[in-house]
Amino acid sequence: MNKLLKSKGFQNASASILSIIFGFAFGFIVLLISNPANAVGGFLTILSGGFTGGMKGLGQTLYLATPIIMTGLSVGFAFKTGLFNIGASGQFIVGAFTAVFIAVRATFIPTEILWLVALIGAFVAGGLWALVPGFLKAYRNVNEVIASIMMNYIGMYLVNFMVVQTVFDAARNQSMTPTRAIIPKVGLDTLFNGSNVNLGIIIAILVAIIAYIVLEKTTFGYELKACGYNRSASQYAGMNSKRNILLSMVIAGAFAGLGGGLLYLAGSGKHIQVVDILAAEGFNGIPVALLGLSNPIGIIFAAIFVAYINVGGFYMQLYKFVPEVISIMVAAIIYLSAFSLFFREQISAFFKKRTEGK
Amino acid sequence: MEYVIEMLNITKEFPGIIANDDITLQVRKGEIHALLGENGAGKSTLMSVLFGLYKAEKGTIKVNGQVAKIHNPNDAKKYGIGMVHQHFKLVHNFTVLENVVLGVETVENGFLKLKDARERVEKISKQYNLFIDPDALISDISVGMEQRVEILKMLYRENEILIFDEPTAVLTPQEIDELMKIMKNLASEGKSIIFITHKLNEIKQVADRVTVLRKGKYIATVDVATTSKEEMSEMMVGRKVLFEVEKGEQKPGEVILEVKNLVVKSKHSHKNAVNNVSFKVRRGEILCIAGIEGNGQTDLVYALTGLTPIESGSLLFKGSDITRSTIRHRSVSGISHIPEDRHKHGLVLDYNLAENLVLQSYFQKDYQNNGFLKFDAIYKHASDLIKQFDIRSGEGVNSKTRSMSGGNQQKAIVAREIDKNPDLLIAVQPTRGLDVGAIEYIHKKLVEQRDAGKAVLLISLEMIEVMNVSDRILVMYEGELVGQADPKVVSQQELGLFMSGSKREVIE
C-alpha cells in the first residue's frame, strides 16, 4: 500500500485528480455568483458531464476528445524534447485544409480510400508547417514559441485564402462539404446513437499509443527525452540534438495536422469558416498536455476529460445558464487542471516529508 | 603605520567548510596590496566580506582606524570601497558616460543632466591617462577598455579603496602592461589597491606587499621586494603530507593521440582560448595537463572530444585524422571522456542510473534491436556495473541520478566511460568536489587504466593530484603549453612558477 502511494504513477494521477477537484470547486463558485438558484443543478449537470445525454453524450465526448487528443499529443511530444509547441493551432488548421482539399478535389482517388489519403495529407501538411519553427530553432536558435505563434497567423490567413480560392462554399462563407471522404463510423454511430463519434477516436488513441511506444521504448525516444532533459549531456553523448529538435517539432506538427483532418472529415457538419480566428483546438492542446503531464496515455484521458466537461457545459443550457458563464466555468476547470504539475510537486514533497519523519 | 583598511581575525563559515579561518588583512594607504592564493583559498570570500556581500561570523573591519559596519554593498560604497569584478558589470548598449553615471545620475526635474558628468569623466580620464571616449558604446570597445571604464566608475564615485579581482585574466599582454601602469599611477595619487591574483609575475611587477592565503587560512604578509617568487609560490601551495597513489613502473607504448598546432577560438574574448598547442599521448601513460583554472584547458578538452569546433591544427587518433569528426565518431572509435561538469555534460539527471549508464552506448547492438531499446540488457548491464564499480544509490538501477551523491554520480560516469574499453581516457578534474575516499578510488581507476595499456589524459587543477597521479606533466598557461616536467623530479614550487606564467620553456 505504502509502495503504491509512493509510486510515481500514483502521485502523477493523484496530482491531476486533485487539480481537477480544485477546478470544479472554483467553477461552482462561478455558478453561485452568476445564478445562485440554479447553481446546484447546473453543477450536477457539469459533473455528470458526458453521461448527461446517455449514450449520445458519451459519443459526443469521444467525438470532441478526438482532435484535442491529437493537439495534446502535439504539445506533449514537443515538450518531452524540451520544446514548447504553441503552434498546434496553425498546424491543426493547415492539416484540416489539406484534408478537406484532398477530399473535395482529388476526385480521381476511389471513395473507399479517399478519407485515408486525405488524413495522410493532413498529417504531412501539419508536419511541414512545424518544419519552419523546428528548423529555425535547431539551426538558428530562434525561440520556437515566437516562430510558431507567427506560423499560427500565417497558417490561418493562408488557409482562409486557400479555402476561398479552391474549396469555397460562397453561400455559407465556409469550405465545401467533403462528402466523398467521410471517416467511417465502423458501427460506433449505432452504439452511441445520435452522436458524431467515428473511427477517428480509435485512430487518435492508436497514435497516442504509438507515441508512447516511441518515447518510452525506442532509441529515438531515448534521444529525444535526453535532449529535452539536458541538451548539453545529449551533445556530449554524441546525439544529434539539432536533428532531434527538428524531428520532434515535425512529429508534433504532424500530430496536430492529423487532428485537423480528423475533425473536419468527421461528417459532423463542421466546416472551415473563413473568419480571422485561430483554431481553439490547437490551444486546448496545451492544458490537455499539461493535465496529462505530457504522457501520451495521460493525454488520452485528459482530452476525454476536457471533452466530457464541454459536453456537460452544453447540457447546462437546460438550467438557463448563458453560454458565456458555461465557457467561464469550463475554462476555470481546465485552467486549474493545468496546475497538476504544481500539485505533483506538493504531493511528492508531502510523502517525502512523511517518510523522513518516521 | 596607519592602515586604511584592516580586516582583523575574520572567520566565515559555509556549511561543511570554513572559507576564512581567522584571517587578517591590513592595507596601508597608497599601497598596492596583493592577495595571493590558489583557487578555493578564500580570497573571494574575504573580499565579499569586505564588500558587504557576506557577513563574517567573527572579526572586525576597520576603515581609517574606525570600526566599520558593512552589511551590504551600499555600506561599502559609503566607506569608499569599490571593486572591479572579474566579469564586468556594464550595460552593453549604453555609452561609456551612461555606464559611469548609472546609479549616481545627476537629475534635474526628472531629466538626466549629463553635462557636468561628462566634464568630470573627461577630467578623470585625463588625470589617470585612461584615454576613454565618453561617447563610445560599450559594445564597440575592447575588453581592456571596458576594464578602464570599470576603473573610471570607481574613481567617479570617489572611491579611495579599489579592489581588483583577478583583473588580468581577460587581458592581452599589452593590455596587462597598461593596466599595471594605471594601477601604479592610482597608487601614487594616494588610492589604496587590493589586487587579487594568483600570478606571481604581476605581483612582482606592481605590488608593495602581499598577503598569502591557503585553504582558508592566513599564511603570512610579506614585502614583495624582499621575497622571491619561489618563496611566494611555496607559501601559496604549502608543503603538505602527500596523498600517495600506489603506482608501479610502466613503459609508455605507441602514440595514441597526437595534437598538432591546435588553435581554438575563445567565446569570450578576442584572444585564442587554445593557442598553437601540440602534444602526444601514449599507451600506458598518464599525461597530465596542469594549470590554473581558465587557462584554456576546458576549450582544449572540448576540441579533443568534439564539443567545440577547431579553428586550425589537427588531431590524429590511432593514426587517423579526427580533426573534423563528430562527437559520436570519436566516442565510438575509442575516446572516453569524464567531463569537467558532471551535471551539465556527464549525466541526464532525470534519467535513472541504468539509462545513464548506456548514455554512450544505447545505440549499439547490445542494447537495441531495430530501434527498440532492450531494457533487460540495459538493466543487467547497470547492475553489473553497480557491483563492479561499487556505485551506491537509494534504489539501485532505478535511482534517479539527481538523487545520488556527487561521489556516486562521478563513479557512475567513471564506470560508464571505463566500461566502453577506450584507447584514450580523457579525465577532466575527475575528483573535483569529492571526498577523500572517492578521490582515492578514482585515482586508482585511472592508474588501472594506464596499467591496462590505455592512454590517459588527465586535466587537473589540484597540485597534489598532478604530482601523484601523472607520469608526465605539461603546464598550460593562457592557452599555451609553457612547460613540461617529470613529476618525480620537479618541485611543486617550480610547477607553480610555470602555472603562474613566471617561467616558460619551449616544449619539443
Q: What is the mean pLDDT of chain B?
A: 87
Write down the H helix ranges in B200-309. Answer: 200-206, 229-237, 297-305
The number of folded domains in chain B is: 4
Do B348 and A218 lie within an 8 Å CB cutoff?
no
The owner of cell 584507447 is B423
Contact B237, B244 (CB under 8 A): no
Average pLDDT over residues B438-444: 81
In degrees, to the nearest 5, what angle opens at C-alpha B440 toward C-alphas B436 and B441?
115
Are B173 and B121 contained in the same domain?
no
The whole-angstrom separation of Cα B14 and Cα B16 is 6
Backbone Cα Rg of chain B: 26
Residues in CB range of A310: below 8 A, 6 or more apart? A64, A330
Residues of chain A falling short of pLDDT 70: 1-8, 337-338, 340-341, 349, 351-358
At residue B408, the pLDDT reads 85
The minimum CA-CA distance between A234 and chain B, rounded to whole Å, is: 8
Do B348 and A233 lie within an 8 Å CB cutoff?
yes
Task: List CB contacts (< 8 A) between A11 and chain B.
Answer: none
Report if residue B123 sits inside a domain. yes
More confident residue, B437 or B290: B290
The owner of cell 564506470 is B415
Do A236 and B348 lie within an 8 Å CB cutoff?
no
Choose the closest CB to B362 out of A222, A232, A233: A222
The whole-angstrom separation of Cα A68 and Cα A62 is 10
Report if residue B34 sits inside a domain. yes
| CA closest to B343 among chain A residues | A233
Average pLDDT over residues B473-485: 92
B35: nearest Cα among B124, B167, B174: B167
End position of a domain, from candidates B197, B214, B238: B238
Contact B101, B120 (CB under 8 A): no
The whole-angstrom separation of Cα A281 and Cα A329 is 18
Instruction: Give the pairing of strands B66-67 and B58-63.
Output: antiparallel
What tens digit of pLDDT does each residue of B167-225 get?
876 666 667 888 899 899 999 988 999 999 877 788 998 999 999 998 888 999 999 99
Do A222 and B327 lie within an 8 Å CB cutoff?
no
> What number of C-beta contacts closer than 8 Å exist between A and B?
64
At residue A358, the pLDDT reads 42
The whole-angstrom separation of Cα A89 and Cα A91 is 6
Do A238 and B362 lie within an 8 Å CB cutoff?
no
More confident residue, B112 or B372: B372
Q: Is the dihedral of CA A199, A201, A205, A211 positive or negative?
A: positive
Residues in CB range of B64: below 8 A, 6 or more apart? B4
The owner of cell 584514450 is B424
Instruction: Give the pairing of strands B32-36 and B192-197.
Output: parallel
The whole-angstrom separation of Cα B68 and Cα B61 is 6
In terms of Cβ atoms closer than 10 Å to its own Cβ (0-12, 13-18, 19+), residue B114 is middle
End position of a domain, from candidates B157, B176, B201: B157
Are B427 and B399 contained in the same domain?
no
How many residues are given for chain B?
Answer: 508
Cα A192 to the center of its chain, rounded Å? 22
At residue B169, the pLDDT reads 66
Q: Is the dihedral of CA B374, B380, B384, B386 positive or negative?
A: positive
Report if residue B340 sits inside a domain. no
SS3 content of chain A, % helix, strand, coil (to 5): 80, 0, 20
3-state DSSP of B385-399: HHHHHCCCCCCHHHC
Residues in CB range of B217: below 8 A, 6 or more apart? B21, B22, B23, B42
Give backbone dihedrals phi and psi of B453, rounded to 5 degrees, phi first: 85, 15
Report if residue B446 sits inside a domain. no
The helix or strand, by DSSP H or E, that contains position B125, with its residue range, turns out to be helix B115-127
More confident residue, B351 or B390: B351
Do B359 and A217 lie within an 8 Å CB cutoff?
no
How is residue B268 annotated by DSSP? S
End position of a domain, from candidates B208, B238, B268: B238
Choose the closest CB to B348 out of A219, A226, A238: A226
Q: How large is the angle between the packed helices A39-48 and A8-34, nearest 10 degrees?
A: 150
Amino acid at site B85: H
DSSP-derived 3-state class of residue A190: helix
The minimum CA-CA distance between A16 and chain B, rounded to whole Å, is: 21
More confident residue, B506 or A214: A214
Contact B414, B439 (CB under 8 A): no
Q: How many CB atoms lie within 10 A of CB B201?
A: 16
The helix or strand, by DSSP H or E, that contains position B22, with its residue range, turns out to be strand B17-28
Are B153 and B166 contained in the same domain?
no
Residues in CB range of A66: below 8 A, 6 or more apart? A200, A201, A203, A204, A259, A262, A263, A266
Do A218 and B350 lie within an 8 Å CB cutoff?
no
At residue B16, the pLDDT reads 65
Report if residue B248 sits inside a domain. no
Facing residues of B81 across strands? B161
| CA closest to A225 among chain B residues | B351
The minimum CA-CA distance between A92 and chain B, rounded to whole Å, is: 29
Are B74 and B181 contained in the same domain?
yes
Choose the closest CB to A236 out of B329, B332, B345: B345
The whole-angstrom separation of Cα A135 and Cα A148 is 11
The minimum CA-CA distance between A232 and chain B, rounded to whole Å, is: 5
Do B372 and A218 lie within an 8 Å CB cutoff?
yes
DSSP string, A67-134: HHHHHHHHHHHHHHTT---TTHHHHHHHHHHHHHHHHHH-TTS-HHHHHHHHHHHHHHHHHHHHHHHH
Mutate to test the interface with B, among A223, A227, A236 (most CBs of B within 10 A): A236
What tens digit of pLDDT does each residue of B20-68 get?
999 999 999 999 999 988 756 788 889 989 988 888 888 999 999 889 8
pLDDT tier at B230, thresholds 50, 70, 90: confident
Are B212 and B259 contained in the same domain?
no
| CA closest to B305 among chain A residues | A236
CA of B46: how far to CAs of B62, B216, B304, in Å?
14, 9, 37
Facing residues of B460 across strands? B290
Choose the closest CB to B349 out of A230, A234, A236: A230
Task: List CB contacts (< 8 A) between A240 and chain B.
Answer: 328
What residue numbers bound the domain in which B9 lies? 1-80+160-238
| CA closest to A233 among chain B residues | B345
Do B339 and A236 lie within an 8 Å CB cutoff?
yes
Stretch(es) of chain A classified as CATH 1.10.3470? 53-320
Amino acid at site B278: S
Report if residue B243 sits inside a domain. no
Are B202 and B267 contained in the same domain?
no
B→A interface, C-beta within 8 Å: 305-307, 326-332, 337, 339, 344-351, 355, 359-360, 362-363, 368, 371-373
Are B104 and B147 contained in the same domain?
yes
End-to-end alpha-carbon separation of chain B, Å?
A: 51
The minimum CA-CA distance between A246 and chain B, rounded to whole Å, is: 19
How is residue B454 annotated by DSSP? -
Q: Indicate the pTM of the whole model.
A: 0.70
The whole-angstrom separation of Cα A178 and Cα A108 is 14
Give backbone dihedrals phi and psi of B352, rounded to 5 degrees, phi first: -80, 175
The whole-angstrom separation of Cα B253 and Cα B258 is 13
Are B73 and B173 contained in the same domain?
yes
Report if residue B109 sits inside a domain. yes
At residue B414, the pLDDT reads 94
Are B120 and B185 contained in the same domain?
no
The minimum CA-CA distance between B308 and chain A, rounded to whole Å, is: 11
Do A236 and B362 lie within an 8 Å CB cutoff?
no
At residue B241, the pLDDT reads 38
How is residue B95 annotated by DSSP? B
Are B205 and B305 contained in the same domain?
no
At residue B39, the pLDDT reads 59
The whole-angstrom separation of Cα B419 and Cα A335 is 48
Which of the following CATH numbers is that of domain A53-320: 1.10.10, 1.10.3470, 2.30.30, 3.10.20? Answer: 1.10.3470
Choose the closest CB to B373 out of A218, A226, A238: A218
Report if residue B506 sits inside a domain. yes
Q: How many CB atoms lie within 10 A of CB A161?
A: 12
Contact B20, B45 (CB under 8 A): yes
The owner of cell 501538411 is A125
Cα B431 to the center of its chain, rounded Å? 15
Are B353 and B313 contained in the same domain?
no
B276: nearest Cα among B490, B68, B477, B460: B477
In degrees, to the nearest 5, what angle opens at C-alpha B192 toward C-alphas B191 and B194?
140
The whole-angstrom separation of Cα A307 and Cα A311 is 6
Contact A257, A95 (CB under 8 A): yes
pLDDT tier at B433, thresholds 50, 70, 90: low
User: What percentage of chain B carries pLDDT values higher than 90?
Assistant: 45
The whole-angstrom separation of Cα A237 and Cα B199 is 36
At residue B242, the pLDDT reads 42
CA of A328: how far to CAs of A19, A304, A331, A335, in Å?
17, 19, 5, 10
Do B346 and A236 lie within an 8 Å CB cutoff?
yes
Are B71 and B169 contained in the same domain?
yes
pLDDT at B148 over 70: yes
